[in-house]
């Protein structure tokens, strides 16, 4: 019969170190390779002697459990995974809730943990009375109710939504010591379902001279943004469902505009009006809040795309790693201009880099998870990641980014008043000899 070839992952040579400070070849993730090098020790708990006998029933195995409820419930042990609120008493100003990326895995943000920014509270919209109109430079103005929209062909896709002000603490002159939720919590990723805006515009008949649309929400702020029509024809969706259920009230129930990969603020929730025009309206949010002044004195105006970005979620600030040995470094990468092609990871603060395994298929303008095996020898290390998208765009190094965009004189702890800088440079975590993790700049 001959000797069968060892299955992939069994070759110890595959555990080769590929970059400084213990980063291993991503092939080791294929499976059994890790056990070979003795790296499995301390991961599963080894059983010996009497302890290896069949398990004795625990308390919870001895009785019939609870009756199921009509709506599913989370285990009480995970209920503490929540978003931190910026305005818990609902004062009449902007409210933020951030996604705790450090407590999640995979790529889909659960609906109750999707980040949200709402400038005037969540409107209580009756879906039977809500209307959305398309008018302006069109052949025939149209009016839609939720019922009417539901009769159009629907499309489903994953994409992230990211506030232009996400990661604003990264503009601080010194690294803010805070969890991922604080640093990068204003981005989330979901599977959205709705009607392509292009379908509705075709029916309305757009004047060839039109170039923009003015989109307005039904909340008191009547949040309004100008959007180039090219995006409407490309991949804009009037969304009705989020991860399979009707939109959350915070995400824009009963309908919102979704512009995959474009600045969060333009993704108008509670959409009630789309006016086709030939020029931008220069609304408050585009002329002021989302047009920051750059160090060279020019306003950074009408930049829509959330550019390629990544950060390591595990391990990250606030976690402690327990002693030398094997760890799975994992994180999120995404790009508003396409799909993630490659993610490079460094364990020595950017001196050397190894290519991480990208969990595929990497979808267009969506969260993509990456992993890389790491053998920590117990000495200080600095972990960081750098993503590349399929258009060849690469996350800028911090020194280059800061040169162009600047930093503040004092640390920015809250995003209030500091909007729309689109930080997409690196995030780095220093691991000290005790396994504690701090936020550092490299």
**Interaction partner, residue 223 (Mo ion, ligand MTE, none; CB < 5-8 Å by kind):** ligand MTE
Identified binder of ligand MTE from the candidate list 268, 312, 356, 388, rule CB under 6 A: 268
Rule CB under 6 A: choose which of 181, 265, 346, 427 binds ligand MTE. Answer: 265
Binding mask 210-239 toward ligand MTE (x if CB under 6 A, else -) reads -------x-x-x-x----------------
Using the rule CB under 5 A, is 265 a contact of Mo ion? Answer: yes
Q: Which long-range contacts (CB under 8 A, 24 or more apart) does 328-331 make?
A: 328/29, 328/371, 328/372, 328/373, 328/374, 329/356, 329/371, 329/372, 329/373, 329/374, 329/383, 330/105, 330/369, 330/370, 330/371, 330/372, 331/369, 331/370, 331/385
Residues 92-131: x/- map of binding to Mo ion (CB under 5 A)? -------------------------x--------------
Q: Are 387 and 335 in contact (CB under 8 A)?
A: yes
Q: Which does 270 bind (CB under 5 to 8 A by kind): Mo ion, ligand MTE, none?
A: ligand MTE
Minimal distance in Å, beta carbon 163 to ligand MTE? 3
Strand partners, 437: 431
Rule CB under 6 A: say whether 116 interacts with ligand MTE.
Answer: yes
Tokens describing residue 398:
């911090």
State both tokens at 317: 């600030």
The one of ligand MTE, Mo ion, none whose footprint includes residue 269, by CB under 5 to 8 A per kind, is ligand MTE
The 10 Å CB-count burial string (b at 16+, else e) for 246-256 is: ebbbbbbbbbb
**Per-residue binding letters, 120-159, with ligand MTE (x by CB under 6 A):** ----------------------------------------
For the beta carbon of residue 141, count every other beta carbon within 10 angstroms: 13
Q: Could you tell me the smallest distance in angstroms from the CB atom of residue 143 to ligand MTE?
A: 19
Q: In angstroms, rounded to a whole number, what is the distance separating the alpha carbons of residues 72 and 229?
A: 41
- E-only strand ranges, 37-186: 95-97, 116-118, 132-136, 142-144, 155-162
The count of other CB atoms within 10 Å of the CB of residue 153 is: 7
**Residue 260 interaction partner, one of Mo ion, ligand MTE, none, beta carbon < 5-8 Å per kind:** none
Q: Which of ligand MTE, Mo ion, none does 118 bind, CB closer than 5 to 8 A by kind?
A: ligand MTE
What are the residues binding Mo ion (CB under 5 A)? 117, 163, 264-265
What are the residues binding ligand MTE (CB under 6 A)? 114-119, 161, 163, 217, 219, 221, 223, 250-251, 264-265, 267-270
């Amino acid at each position: 019969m001959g000797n069968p070839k060892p299955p992939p992952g069994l070759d110890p040579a595959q555990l080769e170190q590929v970059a400084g400070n213990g980063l291993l070849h991503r092939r080791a993730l294929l499976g059994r390779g890790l056990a070979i090098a003795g790296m499995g020790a301390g991961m599963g708990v080894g059983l010996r002697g009497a302890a290896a006998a069949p398990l004795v029933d625990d308390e919870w195995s001895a009785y019939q459990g609870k009756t199921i409820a009509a709506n599913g419930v989370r285990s009480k042990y995970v209920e503490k995974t929540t978003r931190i609120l910026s305005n818990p008493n609902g004062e009449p100003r902007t409210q933020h809730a951030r996604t705790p990326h450090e407590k999640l895995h995979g790529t889909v943000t659960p609906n109750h943990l999707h980040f949200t920014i709402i400038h005037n509270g969540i409107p209580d919209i009756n879906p039977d009375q809500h209307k959305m109109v398309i008018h302006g430079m069109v052949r025939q103005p149209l009016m839609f109710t939720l019922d009417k929209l539901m009769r159009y062909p629907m499309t489903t896709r994953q994409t992230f939504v990211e506030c232009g002000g996400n990661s604003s603490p990264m503009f601080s002159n010194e690294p803010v010591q805070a969890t991922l939720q604080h640093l990068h919590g204003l981005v989330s990723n979901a599977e959205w379902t709705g009607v392509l805006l292009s379908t509705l515009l075709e029916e309305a008949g757009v004047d060839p001279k039109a170039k923009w649309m003015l989109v307005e929400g039904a909340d008191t702020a009547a949040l309004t943004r100008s959007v180039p029509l090219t995006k409407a024809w490309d991949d804009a969706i009037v969304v009705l469902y989020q991860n399979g259920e009707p939109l959350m009230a915070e995400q824009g129930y009963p309908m919102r505009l979704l512009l995959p990969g474009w600045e969060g603020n333009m993704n108008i929730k509670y959409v009630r009006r789309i006016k086709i025009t030939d020029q931008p309206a220069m609304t408050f949010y585009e002329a002021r809040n989302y047009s920051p002044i750059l160090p060279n004195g020019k306003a950074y105006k009408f930049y829509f795309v959330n550019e390629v970005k990544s950060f390591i979620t595990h391990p990250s600030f606030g976690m402690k790693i327990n002693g030398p040995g094997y760890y799975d470094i994992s994180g999120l990468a995404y790009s508003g201009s396409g799909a993630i092609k490659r993610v490079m990871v460094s364990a020595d603060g950017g001196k050397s880099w190894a290519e991480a395994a990208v969990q595929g298929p990497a979808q267009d303008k969506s969260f993509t998870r990456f992993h890389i095996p790491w053998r920590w020898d117990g000495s200080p290390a600095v972990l960081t990641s750098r993503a590349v998208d399929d258009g060849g765009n690469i996350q800028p190094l911090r020194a280059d980014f800061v040169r162009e965009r600047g930093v503040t004189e004092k640390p920015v702890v809250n995003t209030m008043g500091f909007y729309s800088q689109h930080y997409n440079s690196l995030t780095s975590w220093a691991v000290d000899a005790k396994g504690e993790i701090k936020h550092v700049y490299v």
